[in-house]
């Protein structure tokens, strides 16, 4: 656990040091759970979005993209259920006056029991070595079984209370487990009450409730209300999808864990409209497609897992999270939901407009069912950094050891593809060649010209920000127009003609490599 915390702290410090992410309004001591992306962060985030967009819109003839407004008619949120039910259970500690999500307090308690189980398994693994059978151990060890039974019991009570909206039951669970405030250690809690997560604001020309607007808490509703517009103007036939990337806002009670849970964040969502009765087939297909999308980036399978929702929302007939092994454990990275016809029907009813699809094969009208894939771009950013930031020990030819921080991003999403480094910053011939190469390569991809240190230091800096290639221009370049091309991961250095650099790098950083 301590090691995991260290890794998390390291990621946060790394983001600040190299200009990936800053706390918002830092000069005013920051705004809680709001972050700004710096020069490298915005490049990386754009590349993640481009990868997603291409995988959805560019690579599928039956998925189209839109960019809907953040503000929507307030009835949208009534129909979608967000006004009445987009709530989290809130509880205050009477001693510290700190506010918590009641369900998260219980989940954190369960995480501690799970950590105990894992410790027990690790200990046994070490003791028995290769002969160890983890599955059998988990099924027979008395301490593991007792802890597992405790977890199942708590999980069951939590799920029932959440599904039934039973705030008293939730409070009783916190009291029964004797959960203490992490800040003050006190077990004095207020009642648990529902807290709506939508931010609201006011239209300029209408006073009172009538003019109340919400900042969208999900991008999906912009897709649902545009279903007919898009279907008619693109002449798409069911099954087809609509994709969107955009900001969403949630007044999270406890916004923590850096960019994992923010109040302003970005979502990449796709609603796939299908014929009723075929939705579960599509749901399975999208589960697989989305897992492969993550794996193509080089994320090992061991760091990804499916987690089925135990209690389905009333409008869903299947739901799963793709969880990633963040430094603070496996948590939701993406959701895949079979949302039935709930949203389209709700908008149809409240708007009084017919929102249906005429299926020429069936010769019938129906409200399509929807399979949704929804991933937070910021969460994906955090998962990417967690997966790729590595501390490596290097051994030089003379046996000396040194450490380097290296961000092993897939070259296709790296913020800078190539750094051009002049061996001597005051040597006019070298500078001229290096600047010429920088200008030439910049037509093709994002490059950086850096002459602010020794070559060794410049390599380390580029490693730390994930640049897959460095090109060094030196005295030999003046003689024969060749440069040294260094590979971030293998550290191999090869001599290549300047005229070939562009094509070598272009091939390696092409996003196509993520799709084939
Ligand atoms: N339209 C479905 C929907 O919004 P969700 O599970 O509430 O479902 C989808 O959110 C994804 O959005 C999550 O899997 C997560 O990646 C991201 N997300 C949700 N709340 C977030 C927050 N407060 N900060 C950052 N990302 C968030």
Ligand 1 mean position to 507 CA, how many Å? Answer: 34
Angle between helices 377-388 and 39-53 (to 10 degrees): 110
Preceding omega of 18 cis (within 30 degrees of 0): no
Give the whole-angstrom CA distance, residue 322 versus residue 373.
10
Ligand 1 mean position to 115 CA, how many Å? Answer: 25
Question: What average pLDDT does range 318-346 have in this prediction?
Answer: 96
Q: What is the largest CA-CA distance in the chain?
A: 81
Ligand 1 mean position to 211 CA, how many Å? Answer: 27
1 has a pLDDT exceeding 80: no
pLDDT tens digits for range 139-163: 999 999 999 999 999 999 998 998 8
In degrees rounded to 5, what are phi and psi of residue 156?
A: -65, -45
From the CA of 218, give the closest atom in ligand 1.
4
Ligand 1 mean position to 225 CA, how many Å? Answer: 20
Can you give the three-state secondary structure of 51-69, one letter per residue? Answer: HHHHHHHHCCCCEEEECCC
What percentage of the chain exceeds 90 in pLDDT?
89
pLDDT tens digits for range 17-75: 999 999 999 999 999 999 999 999 999 999 999 999 999 999 999 999 999 999 999 99
Decide if 232 contacts 54 (C-beta within 8 A): no
Nearest partner of 247 among 203, 199, 196, 315, judged by Cα: 199
Give the whole-angstrom CA distance, residue 422 versus residue 427.
9
As a whole number, the mean pLDDT across the chain is 95
Whose CA is closest to atom 10 on ligand 1? 374
Question: What average pLDDT does range 384-395 have in this prediction?
Answer: 95
From the CA of 262, give the closest atom in ligand 1.
24
Residue 245's pLDDT band, with cuts at 50, 70 and 90, is very high
Decide if 371 contacts 343 (C-beta within 8 A): no
Neighbours of 371 (CB within 10 A): 27
pLDDT tens digits for range 485-500: 999 999 999 999 999 9
Q: How high is the pLDDT of residue 261?
A: 95
Q: How high is the pLDDT of residue 208?
A: 76
Neighbours of 139 (CB within 10 A): 11
Give the DSSP H or E segment for 464: helix 455-465
Ligand 1 mean position to 147 CA, how many Å? Answer: 30
Ligand 1 mean position to 348 CA, how many Å? Answer: 25
Task: Give one DSSP letter per residue of 147-195, joined into a string.
Answer: HHHHHHHHHHHHHHHHHHT-HHHHHHHHHHTT---TTT----B---EEE
Nearest partner of 66 among 242, 193, 198, 210, judged by Cα: 242
2 has a pLDDT exceeding 90: no
Pairing of strands 418-422, 447-449: parallel
In degrees rounded to 5, what are phi and psi of residue 371?
A: -110, 125
Residue to substitute in 82, 263, 267 for testing ligand 1 pocket (most ligand atoms within 8 angstroms of CB): 267
From the CA of 220, give the closest atom in ligand 1.
1
pLDDT tens digits for range 224-240: 999 999 999 999 999 99
Ligand 1 mean position to 501 CA, how many Å? Answer: 41
The C-alpha torsion from 37 through 41 and 42 to 45, rounded to 10°, is: -110
Residue to substitute in 376, 381, 382 for testing ligand 1 pocket (most ligand atoms within 8 angstroms of CB): 376
310 has a pLDDT exceeding 80: no
Residue 396's pLDDT band, with cuts at 50, 70 and 90, is confident
Q: How far is CA 41 from CA 21, 47, 374, in A?
A: 6, 10, 21
Residue 3's pLDDT band, with cuts at 50, 70 and 90, is low
Nearest partner of 248 among 237, 258, 236, 263, judged by Cα: 263
List all residues whose CB is within 6 A of at least one atom of ligand 1.
218, 220, 250, 252, 261-262, 265, 267, 269, 332-335, 372, 374-376, 378-379
Q: How high is the pLDDT of residue 167?
A: 95
Ligand 1 mean position to 337 CA, how many Å? Answer: 12
Ligand 1 mean position to 154 CA, how many Å? Answer: 25
Neighbours of 25 (CB within 10 A): 11
Nearest partner of 247 among 68, 444, 459, judged by Cα: 68
From the CA of 335, give the closest atom in ligand 1.
14
pLDDT tens digits for range 161-193: 988 889 999 999 999 999 999 999 999 999 999
Whose CA is closest to atom 26 on ligand 1? 376
Residue ranges in 235-297 assigned as alpha helix (H) = 279-296
Give the three-class secondary structure for 288: helix
Higher-scoring residue by pLDDT: 85, 280: 280
Give the DSSP H or E segment for 373: strand 369-376
205 has a pLDDT exceeding 90: no
What percentage of the chain exceeds 70 in pLDDT?
99
Decide if 203 contacts 213 (C-beta within 8 A): yes
Q: How high is the pLDDT of residue 314?
A: 77
Show the beta-strand stretches assigned E in 76-115: 87-92, 99-101
Higher-scoring residue by pLDDT: 323, 254: 323
């Amino acid at each position: 656990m301590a090691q995991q915390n260290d890794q998390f702290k390291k990621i946060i410090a790394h983001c600040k040091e190299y200009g990936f992410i800053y706390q918002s309004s830092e000069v005013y001591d920051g705004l809680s759970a709001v972050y700004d992306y710096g020069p490298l962060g915005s490049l990386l985030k754009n590349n993640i979005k481009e990868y997603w967009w291409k995988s959805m819109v560019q690579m599928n003839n039956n998925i189209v993209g839109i960019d809907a407004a953040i503000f929507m008619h307030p009835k949208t949120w009534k129909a979608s259920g967000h006004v009445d039910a987009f709530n989290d259970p809130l509880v205050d500690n009477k001693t510290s006056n700190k506010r918590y999500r009641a369900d998260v307090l219980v989940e954190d308690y369960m995480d501690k029991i799970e950590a105990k189980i894992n410790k027990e398994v690790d200990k046994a693994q070490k003791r028995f070595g290769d002969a160890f059978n983890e599955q059998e151990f988990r099924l027979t060890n008395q301490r593991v079984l007792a802890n597992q039974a405790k977890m199942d019991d708590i999980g069951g009570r939590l799920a029932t209370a959440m599904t039934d909206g039973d705030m008293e039951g939730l409070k009783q669970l916190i009291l029964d487990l004797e959960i203490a405030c992490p800040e003050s250690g006190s077990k004095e809690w207020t009642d648990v009450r529902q807290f709506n997560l939508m931010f609201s604001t006011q239209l300029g020309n209408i006073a009172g409730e009538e003019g109340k607007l919400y900042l969208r808490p999900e991008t999906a509703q912009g897709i649902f209300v545009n279903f007919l517009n898009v279907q008619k103007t693109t002449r798409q036939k069911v099954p087809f999808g609509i994709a969107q990337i955009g900001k969403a806002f949630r007044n999270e009670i406890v916004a923590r864990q850096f960019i994992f849970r923010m109040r302003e964040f970005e979502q990449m969502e796709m609603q796939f409209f299908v014929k009723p009765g075929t939705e579960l087939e599509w749901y399975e297909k999208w589960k697989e497609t989305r897992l492969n999308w993550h794996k193509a980036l080089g994320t090992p399978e061991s760091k990804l897992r499916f987690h089925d929702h135990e209690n389905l929302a009333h409008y869903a007939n299947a739901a799963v999270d793709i969880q990633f092994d963040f430094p603070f454990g496996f948590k939701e990275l993406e959701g895949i939901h079979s949302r039935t016809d709930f949203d389209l029907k709700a908008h149809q009813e409240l708007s009084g407009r017919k929102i249906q699809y005429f299926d020429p094969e069936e010769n019938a009208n129906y409200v399509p069912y929807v399979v949704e894939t929804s991933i937070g771009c910021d969460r994906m950013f955090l998962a990417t950094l967690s997966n790729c930031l590595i501390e490596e020990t290097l051994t030089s030819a003379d046996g000396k050891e040194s450490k380097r921080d290296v961000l092993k991003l897939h070259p296709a999403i790296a913020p800078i593809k190539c750094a051009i480094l002049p061996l001597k910053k005051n040597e006019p011939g070298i500078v001229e060649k290096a600047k010429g190469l920088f200008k030439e390569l910049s037509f093709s991809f994002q490059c950086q010209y850096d002459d602010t240190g020794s070559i060794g230091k410049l390599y380390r800096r580029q490693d730390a920000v994930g640049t897959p290639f460095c090109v060094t221009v030196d005295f030999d370049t003046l003689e024969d127009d060749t440069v040294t091309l260094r590979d971030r991961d293998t550290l191999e250095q090869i001599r290549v003609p300047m005229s070939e650099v562009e094509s070598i790098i272009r091939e390696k950083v092409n996003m196509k490599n993520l799709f084939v």
